Amino acid sequence: MVSGGAIKGVIGHGIVNAWNITRDGRSGRYELAGKLGRAVTTDSQGRFQLPISGKKDGWVLVELTADNETRMTCDVVPACFSGTPNAVAFGETFPLSAGFRLRAVVNLTDSREVYLTPLSSLAVALAGGSDEGLSPDALLAAYGELEAHFGLSAGTLQLSPPDLVRLDGFSGSTDAIQLAVINAAFLAMVDGTTWSSIDEVLADSEAWVQSEGMLPDSGQAMAPTIEQLTLEAAVISQGLRSEVADGEVLAALDEVSDRTEAFYALVAGAGQGDGAGSGEESGEESVDGSTTIIDRSATLSWDAPLTRQSGVSIAMGELQGYEIVYGQSASALTHSVVIEDASRTQFTIENLADGDWYFAVRAIDTEGLASPMSDVVSKSIQG
């Protein structure tokens, strides 16, 4: 018997199967060899017990798929698919398409319990793209790499993540809550523009990991970035405070919020260099030892907001984008650029004339409401 759960939020009436993993004698790769036992379905809390036959030890892959009865709980505060006509309130459920899939692996020699999440699916995809395929070494390495890339403690992917909709009374570890929050961030990426469903988010994430080795840290890509996901996780952990009354759980959420915000700042800073939050200075470049090319651009970078002015958390789906204003006087920022992409937190303004230039940025939500301007920063352009 293999038992466990499917959490992205809770997935009820999902179809669960187990597959044997064996080494191919000719290629040397470890691949799926045959289904073990019959499929079972998850209960309303995403739990399952799966009888398997002919397998008492070694590695097994467990897979969840969906049919027309499968439902997922929205665990994103305040709502999933924010800013789209299909918004679903926190705690409500919605159907999944037949293309939905989660996977995880378990070594029956050590455990009979396994939890299927977006991160476990990415670990399986990462190992599957290796030369060895789904070998024990590749699987262990992939789980460790996913934990490291998201700032999680070693072994976190094997924990039972809680239902974020029902956190009061949870007595598990802070690591488990952090795991659930990061998994929830994948659902928060569905915005109706870049991705229209959680199926698309996960499919693009797995494809990227298999081809590139890991999700991109930052920038623009055909998959969610670590920066985007950790920002969403920080927003979610902040928003969950309004849904929880248990003092111990609130303290754990505070720690999760601190961890995710610190990791987001680390990833964002690495992606943006020393120019984060300012006009980035570029040096002059000499050509043939005589001609000097003057850089007439300024690169602005900033952090996406986690809360509104009132202190209420704001989801990325509620952000329309940003406006950069600039000019040659700090009191007369007469030029502007509108960025209609909330995930983009860096922009270069080019062809600036000689003199001092001043810049500020503000966020704009999907209702057209704008935040106060940031502090003004400056850069000098000299010919």
Sort strands 59-65 and 15-23 into parallel, antiparallel or unpaired. Answer: antiparallel
The pLDDT value given to residue 281: 37
Side by side, the strands of the sheet bearing 2-6 are 47-50, 2-6, 113-116
Q: Which is nearest to 240 in space by CA: 46, 77, 87?
A: 77
Q: What Cα–Cα distance (Å) separates residue 17 from each residue in 38, 157, 170, 242, 350?
A: 7, 20, 28, 37, 55
The C-alpha atoms of residue 196 and residue 205 are separated, in whole angstroms, by 14
| Coil, strand or helix at 208 | helix
Query: Structure pTM?
Result: 0.75
Give the chain's length.
383
The pLDDT value given to residue 61: 96
Name residues whose C-beta falls within 8 Å of residue 137's C-beta, 6 or more positions apart in sequence. none
The C-alpha atoms of residue 10 and residue 93 are separated, in whole angstroms, by 9
The C-alpha atoms of residue 105 and residue 100 are separated, in whole angstroms, by 18
Q: Which is nearest to 44 in space by CA: 77, 24, 14, 88?
A: 14
- Token pair for residue 157? 């992917």
The pLDDT value given to residue 50: 94
Question: Which residues does the chain have with pLDDT short of 70?
Answer: 270-295, 383
279 DSSP β-pair partners: 300
The pLDDT value given to residue 320: 86
Whether 46 contacts 10, CB under 8 Å = yes
Q: Dihedral of CA 218/223/224/226: which sign? A: negative
Q: Which domains does the chain have, with CATH numbers?
A: 2-268 (no CATH), 277-381 (2.60.40.10)
The C-alpha atoms of residue 15 and residue 71 are separated, in whole angstroms, by 11
The pLDDT value given to residue 270: 67
Sort strands 15-23 and 79-80 into parallel, antiparallel or unpaired. Answer: unpaired
The pLDDT value given to residue 284: 37
The pLDDT value given to residue 383: 62
194-225 in b/e burial notation, b at 16+ Cβ within 10 A? bbebbbebbbbbbebbbeeeebbbbeeeebbb
Whether 96 contacts 70, CB under 8 Å = yes
38-61 in b/e burial notation, b at 16+ Cβ within 10 A? eebebeeebebebebeebeeebbb
